[in-house]
Structure 1
Amino acid sequence: MLFKVEMDITIPPGFDPDGLDRLKAAEKARFQELQRAGTWRHIWRVVGRYANVSIFDVESNAHLHDILTTLPLYPLMTITVTALCRHPSTIHDDDR
């Protein structure tokens, strides 16, 4: 199942800069692990915000939820999820 996931990150005032750097490094490592597995298929930055729009390919809603809660920056995120389905006019075979 494909999902569009919008993630907005809000850093609380006074958040420890070193702790934030560690969280960002851990987030990048987790993202790359999920990308290599084919689960986190695409990611784009949102211009002017600490946010991204991503495409996930997972087996269920619950699976996506479980993945999102493992992200190191999850406690700082506001997340919007939209379920997607294959468009009948696509020419790409991997758009499930």
Structure 2
Amino acid sequence: MLFQVQIIVRVPHDMDKEKVQALSAAEVERAKVLQRAGKWLHIWRIAGKWANISIFKVDDAGELHELLSTLPLFPFMEIEVTALCHHPASIE
């Protein structure tokens, strides 16, 4: 199944900057692992925000939840998920 996932990251303003940087670096590495595994197909930054829109390819919503919960910044994320399906006008 394909899912569009919009993620907004909101860390507390008083959070230690070094901890935020470490979590961000770990987040990048985890995202790369999921991309190489073919689970995280696309990721686009939303300009002007600490946010992204992504496309995931997973077996079901349960797998998507499991993957998202492994992201180091997960505790600070607002996540909106939309299930996608083939459109009859698509040439793919």
* TM-score between the two structures when normalised by the length of structure 1: 0.93
Amino acid at match of 1:75: P
User: 2:37 and 2:66 mapped to 1: Cα distance?
Assistant: 15
Find the aligned partners of 2:19 and 2:48 in 1 and give their Cα distance.
23
Deviations 1:47-90 (A, max 9, x none): 11110000000001100000000000000100000000011222
* TM-score when normalising by structure 2: 0.96
In structure 2, what is the equivalent of residue 84 of structure 1? 84
For residues 8-60 of structure 1, the C-alpha deviation after alignment (integer angstroms, 9 at most, x for no partner) is 00020111111111101110000000000110000001111110000000001
Q: One-letter code of the match for 2:18?
A: D
Q: CA RMSD for the aligned pairs?
A: 0.7
- Report the residue type matching 2:75 in the other structure: P
Tell me, which stretches of 5 or more residues in structure 1 are unaligned? none
Offset at residue 91 of structure 1 (A): 2.2
Hey, what's the Cα distance between the residues in 2 that align with 1:61 and 1:76? 20
The amino acid of 1:39's aligned partner reads K
Q: Which runs of 4+ in 1 moved over 3 A?
A: none
Count of residue pairs the alignment pairs up: 92
User: What secondary structure is seen at the aligned counterpart in 1 of 2:13?
Assistant: coil
Q: Tell me the residue number matched to 2:25.
A: 25
- Equivalent position amino acid for 2:63 in 1: H
- 1:56 paired residue number: 56
The letter for the 2-side match of 1:3 is F
Q: Which runs of 5+ in 2 are unaligned?
A: none
CA distance in 2, matches of 1:50, 1:42: 17
**2:39 pairs with 1:44:** no
SS of residue matched to 1:26 = helix
